[in-house]
Amino acid sequence: MSNICKEQICYETYKETADWLLSKISHRPKVAIICGSGLGMLADALTNPKIFKYADVPNFPQSTVKGHAGQLVFGDLNGKTCVCMQGRFHMFEGYPLTKVTFPVRVFRLMGVEVMIVTNAAGSVADGYNTGDIMIIKDHINMPGLIGLHPLIGPNDERFGTRFPSMSDAYDKSLGKLALEISKELKCSNYIKEGVYCMVGGPNFETIAEARLLHILGVDAVGMSTVPEVIVAKHCGLHVFGLSLITNKVTREYDSNEVVNHDAVLSISKMRAEMIQSLVMELVARMKVNNDY
């Protein structure tokens, strides 16, 4: 059996997990929020929460990275029923991309219509500062360009078409709404809009790699998000993405700057309240129940 076939997950497995969760909760989530490194506080805003450790959910992978609590939180947020992932899965943890993206299809089978993704990222663009928040308008799937892609293998038409378009992966109306909200919250001076690039990790980028990404037009770089977005778009979800800029990626050989994961978590904590306010207001105003 080929490695591709070994990594496939059948429809019945997704449905088993979705049905198990639905049998345990009264919530029927319309919005899913995937929390990046150090950004799990978004789940703390949910009222009437119901929490499941990933280890207790059938077929779910486990988070192994610091800053990822590893639990699902169901609850209400500003009038919308939501599910939050406090911790995501990464390719560098050794998971195939079908496992990395496993929760997205489970959420779709549970009735989710909108997915919000957040991540911690390094800035490649000139003019970005640590602590900036970038609304993702597009992405570059670096692993996908060499064949590491979550949609490789047989396509299940019950989820989506064989060749999905990604030119509109990020919902423009949600991006526009987020920009309007940032002005109202008086934080627009550190809100950006740009292109996110996923690299495999777990090492941070070399200077030569950073220079290449800059040439390609990348604004921020990280090790996640893109696979989930691709699968969400494939199965018809509306997607909104945010990157918290936690470090500047150096492009100069004489620089003494060295990034580390603890510093990333520190910056995440600094901006936690503002990101929470922005996402809460966005959820309050977004449309659900297929009224896009």
The three-class DSSP label of residue 286 is coil
In terms of DSSP bridges, do strands 71-77 and 47-53 run parallel, antiparallel, or are they unpaired? antiparallel
Q: Which is nearest to 35 in space by CA: 1, 77, 80, 71? A: 71
| Structure token pair of residue 102 | 């496993």
pLDDT at position 4: 44
The total number of residues written for the chain in this structure: 292
CA distances to 196, 247, 250 from 217, in Å: 9, 18, 15
pLDDT at position 112: 98
Helices and strands, counts by H and E, the chain = 8, 9
- Count the neighbouring beta carbons within 10 Å of the beta carbon of residue 190: 16
In terms of DSSP bridges, do strands 238-248 and 133-141 run parallel, antiparallel, or are they unpaired? antiparallel
The mean of the pLDDT values for the chain is 91
pLDDT at position 1: 34
CB 51 within 8 A of CB 71: yes
Q: Which is nearest to 251 in space by CA: 218, 291, 282? A: 218
pLDDT (tens digit, 9 = 90+) per residue, 109-156?
Answer: 999 999 999 999 999 999 999 999 999 999 999 999 999 999 999 999
- pTM here? 0.93
Residue 19 has pLDDT above 50, yes or no: yes
pLDDT (tens digit, 9 = 90+) per residue, 193-251?
Answer: 999 999 999 999 999 999 999 999 999 999 999 999 999 999 999 999 999 999 899 99
Q: What is the mean pLDDT of residues 52-78?
A: 89
The correct CATH number of 3-285 out of 3.40.50.150, 3.40.50.1580, 3.90.1150.10, 3.40.47.10 is 3.40.50.1580
CB proximity list for 18: less than 8 A, separation 6 or greater:
106, 107, 109, 110
pLDDT at position 68: 65
How far is Cα 255 from Cα 269, in angstroms, rounded to an integer?
A: 26
Q: Which is nearest to 57 in space by CA: 123, 107, 130, 132? A: 107
How far is Cα 116 from Cα 284, in angstroms, rounded to an integer?
A: 13
pLDDT at position 8: 83
Q: How far apart are the first and last CA of the chain?
A: 42
